[in-house]
């Protein structure tokens, strides 16, 4: 789908993760990573620290490079 860091696909994925943690990873086809970010952010928001995982999810989606 995308060519790696900085590609349009990764920018779209990062924006998706901004809306919902893990959504960008889901768009990239990384189901397990998406689930971990989604559940992790949900748990962390209970302790008012969810913004950390939310931000990490965006950065992770933006910097991901598919294996060749």
Residue 59 corresponds to which tokens in the numbers above? 């950065």
Q: Tell me the chain's radius of gyration from C-alpha atoms.
A: 11
In a domain, 12, yes or no: yes
Nearest-angstrom CA–CA distance, 18 and 23: 8
Whether residue 20 lies inside any domain: the answer is: yes
The number of domains in the chain is 1
Q: How many residues does the chain have?
A: 68
Residue 22 within a domain: yes
- CA proximity to 53, closest of 64, 41, 61, 42: 41
Dihedral pair phi/psi, residue 38, rounded to 5° = -65, -50
How does pLDDT run across 27-55, given as a tens digit for each residue? 999 999 999 999 999 898 888 888 888 88
Domain span including residue 44: 8-63
pLDDT band, very low/low/confident/very high, at 1 (cuts 50, 70, 90): very low
Domain contains 43 = yes
Average pLDDT, the chain: 85
Residue 1 forms part of a structural domain: no
């Amino acid at each position: 789908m995308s060519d790696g860091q900085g590609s349009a696909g990764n920018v779209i994925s990062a924006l998706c993760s901004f809306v919902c943690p893990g959504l960008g990873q889901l768009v990239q086809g990384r189901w397990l990573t998406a689930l971990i970010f989604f559940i992790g952010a949900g748990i962390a928001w209970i302790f008012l620290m969810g913004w950390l995982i939310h931000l990490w999810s965006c950065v992770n989606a933006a910097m991901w490079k598919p294996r060749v």
